[in-house]
Amino acid sequence: MLINRKALQTGMVLITTMLLLVVVTILALAMFRGSGLEARIAGNTMEKQRALQAAVSAQQYAEQWLIANISSTPPVDCSGHGSPSNAAPTICSDILSTSLDSGTPANVPWVIGGGTMGYSYNPTNPDTSASYFPVNTAGGLGTYYAAPVLYISELGQDGTLANAVDYAIDAWSYAGAQITVAVVESTYQIRYTSKPPGP
């Protein structure tokens, strides 16, 4: 009896080819899915950095403003000041972390006694007259959901130095969407060559 080996191998080539095609398709889909995930991760990281840099910018402005205005701006009770403004920063006698309705500076916007707190920091570029933090709640390339907000509070005289007063400077900022926010805080100390202001 004669066996035709060519007839027996014809079906095997088709099955092997189909299996290889399925494996290659699965690998290609995994690569596309992975690259899409990496793009989303990179976008989220960029938005996080934008929010952080805007908050740090507001914090640094508050530190500079405090040095320039400490002698002419006594601390005041800020709990009744209402929503953030662009009038001027204020040195508050209310310590933010202990006065917030939510109990934590991580929840923004900051609310004390039912009113939102802080100074809305959004300077304009003198060369272009455009805001450094263009606000657009609908989102968009290069925009921010809201301008950064800062809060300066007097912590009181330093426990180790008689001629020094400690201040807490808090700032927060959204990036392009409300779901991306950064909150920063620093403790700033001012030392006086003579007696510090106050009682």
Query: CB-based burial of residue 147 (10 Å sphere; 0-12 exposed, 13-18 middle, 19+ buried)?
Result: buried
The phi, psi pair for 134, rounded to 5°, reads -60, 125
Q: How confident is the model at residue 161 (pLDDT cuts 50, 70, 90)?
A: confident
What are the tens digits of pLDDT across the range 9-63?
567 777 888 888 898 888 888 877 777 777 788 888 899 999 999 999 999 999 9
Distance CA 13, CA 77 (A): 84
Cα–Cα distance, 90 to 150 (Å, whole number): 10
Q: In this model, does residue 65 exceed pLDDT 80? A: yes
Q: Is 184 exposed, middle or buried (0-12, 13-18, 19+ CB in 10 A)?
A: buried
In this predicted structure, the answer to whether residue 141 has a pLDDT above a threshold of 80 is no
User: Tens digits of per-residue pLDDT, 99-125?
Assistant: 888 888 888 998 888 888 889 999 888
User: How much is the pLDDT for 162?
Assistant: 80
Q: Are 160 and 148 in contact (CB under 8 A)?
A: no
pTM confidence score: 0.75
Q: What is the mean pLDDT of the chain?
A: 84
